[in-house]
Amino acid sequence: MGMSDSKPARGLMGRVLVFAGSIRADSYHRKLAQAAAAGLRSAGVETTFADLKDYPMPLYDGDVEAAQGLPERAKAFKELLQSHDAFAIASPEYNGSFPALVKNVIDWASRPEPGEKPLAAFRGKTAAILSASPGPGGGQRGLRHLRELLEMIGVNVIPAQLAIPRAFEAFDAEGALIRPEDRNGLARLVSELAMALREKRQAA
């Protein structure tokens, strides 16, 4: 699973989980998430790339939860979230918001298990959000909604975010960002997330 992509840190800034809100093999957001993971590793941050295709789970159903508890894959992803200090989420924009896939994994992971504090996988964590879109907005509307959701469940979302327009011309054949403005935007986001983690560790 995605855990095999982790790399030891060169510092003590904490661990970042990176994932895309799309499971399509050639997704722009898979490429963007992998670019973010590479940037974080280069900045000395311990980083795990997770593929949501490895964590299939049903739509949230309270009856299923009451009868069986969290599904196995939902529980595994929740444990992955809990083992990291921060998240970087590359999320598509579907009809002006973020996709059901992202909402569903958050809904399942937000459910407390016996003896667990509410929102244990999220509260007090730090996040960065990114998007890419064929259109001129770069997915900014979806990021606005995702920011609101994450902040509602206790996540500190850093001010910097990256929205890449005209995504069909943003990546090369290896999945790397082509345009200087996109590379610079990703570098700013990585730097701000690393700084937020560093400051959090120093304050602890």
Please report the pLDDT score of residue 29 as a whole number. 97
Of 40, 8, 16, 31, nearest in space to 187 by CA = 40
Average the pLDDT over 47-71 and give the result. 96
pLDDT digits (tens, 9 = 90+) for 127-160: 999 999 999 999 999 999 999 999 999 999 999 9
Of 49, 28, 35, 38, nearest in space to 131 by CA = 28
> Which residue's entry shows tokens 């969290």?
70
Map residue 90 onto helix, strand or coil: strand
CA dihedral 39, 101, 162, 169 (to 10 degrees): 90
Of 83, 14, 76, nearest in space to 51 by CA = 76
Q: What is the pTM of this model?
A: 0.92
Measuring CA to CA, how many Å separate 132 from each of 83, 183, 195? 27, 13, 24
pLDDT digits (tens, 9 = 90+) for 21-44: 999 988 999 999 999 999 999 999
